[in-house]
Amino acid sequence: MHKIVYKKQLSNDMFWMEFEAPYVAAKAKPGQFIIFRVDEFGERIPITMADSNKETGTVTLIFQAVGRSTMLLSQFEVGESIADIAGPLGNPTEVEGRKKVCVVGGGTGNALAYPVACGFKAAGAEVDMVAGFKNKDLVVLEDEFKAAVDNFYLVTDDGSAGEKGFTTDKLKALIEEGNQYDEVITVGPPVMMKFVAAVTAPFNIPTVASLSALMIDGTGMCGGCRISFDGETKYVCVDGPEFDAQKVDWDVLIARNAYYAEEEQAERDHVCRITGGVRHYE
């Protein structure tokens, strides 16, 4: 069991939670993920860690309550415990040897981009951060990013906060202004990451994408998280989660990630006939 020691609601459906998980925290590095279960009946959900603290033995998750398990998790309070946290899993971000990088985050992907940006900064790189959201009501971690990176650029689809436009528009403008990036790292919706790769390709800028995929065991055995990468089959859980964005078959990934979209929507729309709402099971 892993006790919740801190909880903060960042927006309507985004939450910051810190859990006791000393064995995970002792070895966790930026870019790695965990798999959690809310209770003994729960599904196994992979999520990248937003932070870890070896001294306190805690890990931080920032998540959007969109599916059954994350909606249940969002209802837990400080002092309560969830069943399992397994990790750290996946390969950590390679942060050494870069002088200047640009991290591009979209939507909830910004929560996962935060530890990556901090990792590069701690390794001595100059870090530009482009964070994109649909509107001002969905903006999270603005103050944290401003404190962590050298240059922070906020963009929203409707212009209600920061600059109006998409992350790809701002990234292209920064490159055309003469910024010499050793690497661009992108975290967010696959469609966004696909177009980030399209922006950087003409400039021959190495581009890394942190992928999320359907996942069960997190050890490469189930094959659920397979992707097509440079003409070969790779597994996000053991070969990733970070890959050369220019070699990912984005159309295959996007199609696979949408496979259970109807079932996920049905879970979100379901109203319990007994309680009149969603609740976690005792």
Going from the C-alpha of 62 to that of each of 168, 191, 200, 262, the distances in angstroms are: 24, 21, 28, 24
* Domain interval for residue 156: 100-210
- Domain co-membership, 74 together with 112: no
Tell me the residue type at 279.
Answer: R
| Mean predicted lDDT score pLDDT of the chain | 88
Judge whether residue 122 has pLDDT over 80: yes
- Domain co-membership, 170 together with 118: yes
249 secondary structure, DSSP code: -
Chain centroid to Cα 168, Å, comes to 18
For 222-253, b/e burial (b = at least 16 CB within 10 A) is: eebbbbbbeeeebbbbebbbbbebbebebeeb
Query: Please, which pLDDT band fits residue 272 given cuts at 50, 70 and 90?
Result: low
Judge whether residue 263 has pLDDT over 90: no
Inter-residue long-range contacts of 274-282, CB under 8 Å, 24+ positions, other chains counted = 278/71, 278/72, 278/75, 279/75, 280/38, 280/39, 280/72, 280/75, 280/76, 281/39, 281/41, 281/72
Query: How many domains would you assign to the chain?
Result: 2
pLDDT tens track for 170-196: 999 999 999 999 999 999 999 999 999
- Domain co-membership, 20 together with 114: no
- Domain co-membership, 48 together with 139: no
- Domain co-membership, 77 together with 28: yes
Contact between 275 and 244 under an 8 Å Cβ cutoff? The reply is no
Query: Please, which pLDDT band fits residue 262 given cuts at 50, 70 and 90?
Result: low
pLDDT tens track for 129-168: 999 999 998 898 899 999 999 999 999 999 999 999 999 9
Total length of the chain: 282
Cα(164)–Cα(161) distance, integer angstroms: 8
Any idea what the CATH number is for the domain that residue 51 is in? Answer: 2.40.30.10
- What pLDDT sits at residue 281? 40
pLDDT tens track for 41-83: 888 888 888 888 999 999 999 888 877 888 889 999 999 999 9
